């Protein structure tokens, strides 16, 4: 007997709860809407109808993946960030709401050329260029698979950007009046405490430097000088306990002024460093 969508939803939410998913009802709803190919706000209309075999198969596969703690965004292939939706894969870090704090800080002043180090999905770079269509930008990443995702996101949203495979500044030429980055800042000692969704499913090299979590900031600070125009800004996301250490790294590298931006939860989230000029 073909189950009603409402019953399939109930069973799926119970299964996800047993698997330890933090919000099983919400996730089951998102996955059912994906299986039915309807917007989530239209899901209520579909609950009283039988769940067809094709949709039932898609839903069961999605629920099984979520029960294994694969992130919802990877299962449905997209994640909302700033004003757009971005394709995500296992090759990219999931764009997170707290990273929007970096976007807000970057948009506080005009810019003409922006460099996004470790671009991943391209969410930061594409969001900035969509807001400033007269600006140009380059995204770098050590992962070609991530760069391919970023290029697809830019093309789908009508944003023109360059994507270059590079290990931080290696191979990067030219000067920029804005450099941004959400680098790997989780210390190796903190990795075991991460949720399974992050620890097992997101690219490890986008999460940790396998050291104290500050290695990427040291590399960025050391290489930025030859790529910053006078008066340019360097804006990076940080872990909520790293503000003082990252600011000190930048000051030692020649940035006379640094500021902190807090996310919506009141945690230190972004360092804004001002280059002389």
Tens of pLDDT, residues 223-245 = 999 999 999 999 999 999 999 99
Element (DSSP H or E) covering residue 3: none
Structure tokens at 168: 């931080």
CATH 3.30.70.20 fits 92-274, yes or no: no
Structure tokens at 39: 């917007």
Cβ count within 10 A of residue 2? 11
How far is residue 267's CA from residue 226's CA, in Å, rounded to a whole number? 31
On the 0-12 / 13-18 / 19+ scale of CB atoms within 10 A, 102 is: buried
* H runs (alpha helix) in 201-272: 215-224, 243-252
Are the C-beta atoms of 163 and 144 separated by less than 8 Å?
no
In the chain, the largest separation of any two C-alpha atoms, in whole Å, equals 72
Q: What pTM, to 2 d.p., does this model score? A: 0.93
| Segment 205-226, tens digit of pLDDT | 999 999 999 999 999 999 999 9
CA distance from start to end of the chain: 72
Q: What is the DSSP letter of 71?
A: -
User: Among 93, 90, 80, 86, which residue's Cα sits nearest to residue 184?
Assistant: 93
How far is residue 37's CA from residue 45's CA, in Å, rounded to a whole number? 13
User: Among 219, 227, 234, 216, which residue's Cα sits nearest to residue 275?
Assistant: 234
Q: What order of strands is seen across the sheet that includes strand 228-237?
A: 162-165, 136-141, 113-117, 176-181, 228-237, 268-274, 257-262
Place of tokens 């944003």: 159
Supply the pLDDT for residue 171. Answer: 85
| Segment 151-193, tens digit of pLDDT | 999 999 999 999 999 999 998 999 999 999 999 999 999 999 9
Q: What is the DSSP letter of 95?
A: P
Supply the pLDDT for residue 275. Answer: 96
pLDDT for 118 beyond 70: yes
């Amino acid at each position: 007997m073909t189950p009603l969508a409402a019953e399939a939803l109930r069973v799926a939410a119970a299964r996800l709860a047993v698997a330890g998913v933090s919000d099983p009802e919400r996730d089951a709803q998102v996955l059912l809407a994906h299986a039915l190919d309807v917007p989530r706000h239209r899901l209520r209309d579909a609950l009283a109808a039988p769940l067809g075999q094709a949709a039932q198969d898609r839903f069961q596969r999605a629920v099984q993946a979520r029960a294994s703690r694969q992130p919802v965004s990877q299962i449905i292939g997209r994640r909302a960030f700033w004003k757009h939706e971005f394709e995500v894969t296992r090759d990219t870090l999931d764009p997170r709401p707290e990273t929007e704090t970096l976007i807000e800080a970057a948009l506080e002043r005009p810019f003409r050329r922006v460099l996004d180090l470790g671009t991943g999905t391209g969410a930061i770079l594409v969001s900035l260029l969509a807001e400033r269509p007269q600006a140009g930008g380059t995204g770098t990443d050590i992962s070609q698979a991530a760069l391919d995702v970023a290029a697809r996101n830019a093309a789908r949203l009508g944003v023109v950007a360059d994507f270059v495979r590079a290990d931080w500044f290696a191979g990067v030429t030219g000067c920029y009046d804005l450099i941004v980055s959400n680098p790997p800042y989780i210390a190796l000692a903190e990795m075991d405490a991460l949720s399974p969704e992050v620890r097992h499913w997101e690219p490890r090299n986008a999460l940790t430097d396998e050291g104290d979590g500050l290695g990427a900031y040291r590399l960025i600070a050391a290489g930025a000088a030859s790529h910053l125009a006078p008066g340019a800004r360097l804006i990076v996301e940080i872990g909520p306990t790293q503000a003082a250490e990252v600011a000190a790294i930048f000051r030692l590298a020649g940035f006379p002024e640094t500021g902190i931006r807090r996310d919506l939860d009141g945690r230190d989230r972004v360092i804004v460093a001002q280059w002389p000029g």
